[in-house]
Amino acid sequence: MATRTIELDGRSLTAAALMTLAQGDARIALAPAALAQVRRAADFLSEQVRRGEPIYGVTTGFGSNADKLLGAHRARDELPGGNPDPRAGGLPEELQHNLIVTHAVCTGEPFAPEVVRAMLVIRINTLLRGHSGIRAETLQALAELFNRGVVPVIPQLGSVGASGDLAPLSHLAIVLLGGGEAFHAGERLPGATALRRAGLQPVRLSYKEGLALNNGTAQMLACAVLALDRLQRLATTADLAAAMTLEAFAGRGSAFRADVHALRPHPGQVACAAHLRELLDGSTLIDIPYHLVPRFATWTAQAWHEPEDQAVHFDIAWDWVPAHRRHGREAFYTRFLPFRGGKKHQPQDAYSLRCIPQVHGAVRDALAQAARVLDIELNAVTDNPLLFPDRAGARVIEDRVVSAGHFHGMPLALAMSYVKAAIPVLASISERRIAKLVDAATNDGLPAFLAGNEDATDSGFMIVQYTAAALVNDLASRAHPASVYSIPTSANAEDHVSMGANEARQVLAMCEPLEQVLALELYTAAQALDYRRDMLNAARRLARRGDWRVLAAKIGGAPEAGHPQHAQFEQEVRALMRALAEASEFHPGPAVAEALQRIRAEVAFMPRDRAMDGDIARMLALVRRGGI
């Protein structure tokens, strides 16, 4: 049982507090001042009913039945064969009861418990504002439902996002009445049984209480908050995966400079660039000279002779650029030695590396916009009609009981549409980096598919990119915004709806494939980074032995002894040897190195093909639990 208590007052609920409650790590308490306002509104509503005032959803029907006033007695009791139920309450009570039991019509698999707990908290919090007419004792019963671990079974499909999440919230409320189904202590039970086991009694609804319970945006908001919490962590994970890939490419760091991004200061872009600088700080791989980077060559038994190199599972190579091929490039070869290894001679990296701040940053901005909307909605009143019992100068009932449209989910729907479009963008650029890492034509000297493949039997990481491509396609096919496709309901009384519940539910579901793509990039980047670091350090060890001929044996295009250019070749190989020997040990920055170490604690480097399913399962678990 949770020991921590979080007080709800209708005005100060945060996303962080909601996440704590959704995970079942705290109980809720109701602020006394808020409950006083709840009682004030309920008393006001009872007084208006006593006076015979016509009030939507209290003394009238709902939706297209809003023009029907409740009578003094049940007309159906006068029908032939009518059999009045002496236990039944009045028509206003029956109206609220029937609203819940007839609207609980969702289909599909149940929502996860954390979604339902979040819905409960959101609904309780908004009702505490005291504009809904619910009685304090009904609201306290709803809070006890949460505190005693009763989790209503809410199928996922059935809300159009206006008039609120009517159907799913009815599944939530029906358990309070002793109907429906609920989970309790991990067991799926009839609602009445779950209440009894939790020591609770069913509630009989009073004026407007059914409408207060099911008319709001709690499902879409719960899904959105849970999704955003996960996506904000995945945006940080994406930066780390990108940084590890950059290290594996021995990439260029100038594209992330603070003064560069000050010229186009989108907040997410600036923050992402700063994060990358932090992750790459201390690296000796970023911005190293082109000529120091060897390219992979297939291992042979003759590749290495020194005892300390016997475990090396690769060979390394460069090509020498002779003097007659340097014409017009003299300035370049003044700065860099004339050797072509793995790193291409170009001042900029591919877009998937160079434009990380612009792409990841735009995704961050989409999440920030959604967070702004959700923060408002968490403490908003979202049912209808709204009660203003203390409004001064009110002359008629309509001045203090106002029918409006706060149940309409379009603010959330459009925010989630923006996020929905951003998710495949983040996955797509990650997959492009995976594709570059495994392709020998684009990976700047790493082995094809990141496998030594000495005997031509290894596929290496080839199919990892296939899986990433399939996941990206799946995400892209889900990215169509639900919010642009309204289907009128309730005999056209509700003629424009938001579909925000579908939008938020789909965004929450899309988090997992994105998580999988990022895990695959980290898995691939770790393999590539090990290769890059080990190849560079092997070259450094070779150079520090001081024998230029041993180093020269790794260089193609060398002129033979006695050739006019041989002396120049020797001089330039010696220069390469000195540059490598004087270099510090090649390593990623401390942050990336720590991430690599945590990956290697779960998944070993793969020198040759092995079953990868266990590796990938462990990588997914590592990313999912925030282990890096």
- 207-264 pLDDT per residue, tens: 999 999 999 999 999 999 999 999 999 999 999 999 999 999 999 999 999 999 999 9
Q: Is the pLDDT of residue 546 over 60?
A: yes
Three-state SS at 217: coil
Judged by average pLDDT, the poorest of 124-133, 292-301, 310-319, 539-548 is 310-319
3-state helix, strand, coil in the chain (%, to 5): 55, 5, 40
Average of per-residue pLDDT values in the chain: 94
Q: Is residue 450 predicted with pLDDT exceeding 70?
A: yes
Q: Confidence band (pLDDT; 50, 70, 90) for 152?
A: very high
Q: Are strands 555-556 and 315-320 parallel, antiparallel or unpaired?
A: parallel
Helix ranges restricted to H, 128-179: 136-147, 166-176
pTM as predicted = 0.94
Task: Find the mean pLDDT for residues 122-134.
Answer: 97
Per-residue DSSP letter, 87: T
Mean pLDDT within 34-42: 97
Structure tokens at 616: 């990938």
Domain ranges of the chain: 5-73+88-216, 228-369+412-624
Structure tokens at 106: 């969702």
pLDDT at position 84 over 70:
no
CA distances 602 to 199, 429, 449, 621, 623, Å, are 45, 25, 21, 10, 11
Q: Which of 153, 110, 112, 122 is nearest to 23 (CA)?
A: 112
What is the mean predicted confidence (pLDDT) over 128-144?
97
Query: Which of 50-54, 142-146, 210-214, 464-468 is predicted with the least confidence, judged by mean pLDDT?
Result: 50-54
Confidence band (pLDDT; 50, 70, 90) for 78? low
What stretch of H or E contains 386? strand 386-387
Q: What share of the chain in percent tops pLDDT 90? A: 83
- CATH fold for domain 5-73+88-216: Fumarase C; Chain B, domain 1 (1.10.275)
Question: What pLDDT is stored for residue 45 in this prediction?
Answer: 92
CB atoms within 10 A of CB 545: 12
Q: What is the pLDDT of residue 268?
A: 98
- Angle between helix 500-544 and 462-478 (nearest 10): 160
What pLDDT does residue 79 have?
Answer: 67
How far is the C-alpha of 132 from the C-alpha of 381, rounded, in Å?
8
pLDDT at res. 305? 82
Looking only at the bridges linking them, the beta strands covering 295-297 and 5-8 are unpaired
pLDDT of residue 398: 87
Rounded to an integer, the average pLDDT of 285-302 is: 94
pLDDT-based confidence at residue 525 (cuts at 50, 70, 90)? very high
In this structure, what are the phi and psi dihedrals at residue 152, rounded to the nearest 5 degrees?
-55, 145
* Inter-CA distances, 89 with 24, 66, 86, 207, 591, Å: 36, 21, 8, 12, 66
Tokens of 473: 């396609």
Overall fold of domain 228-369+412-624: Fumarase C; Chain A, domain 2 (1.20.200)
Q: Is the pLDDT of residue 311 over 90?
A: no
**How many residues does this entry show for the chain?**
628
Local confidence band at 542 (pLDDT 50, 70, 90 cut-offs): very high
pLDDT of residue 394: 83
Compute the distance between CA of residue 250 and CA of residue 588 in angstroms, rounded to an integer: 9
Task: Compute the average pLDDT of residues 576-581.
Answer: 98
Residues 417, 112: Cα–Cα separation, whole Å: 22
Q: Which pLDDT band holds residue 395 (cuts at 50, 70, 90)?
A: confident
The question of whether 56 is a catalytic residue gets the answer: yes
Summarize pLDDT for 259-293 with one digit per residue, the tens. Answer: 999 999 999 999 999 999 999 999 999 999 999 99
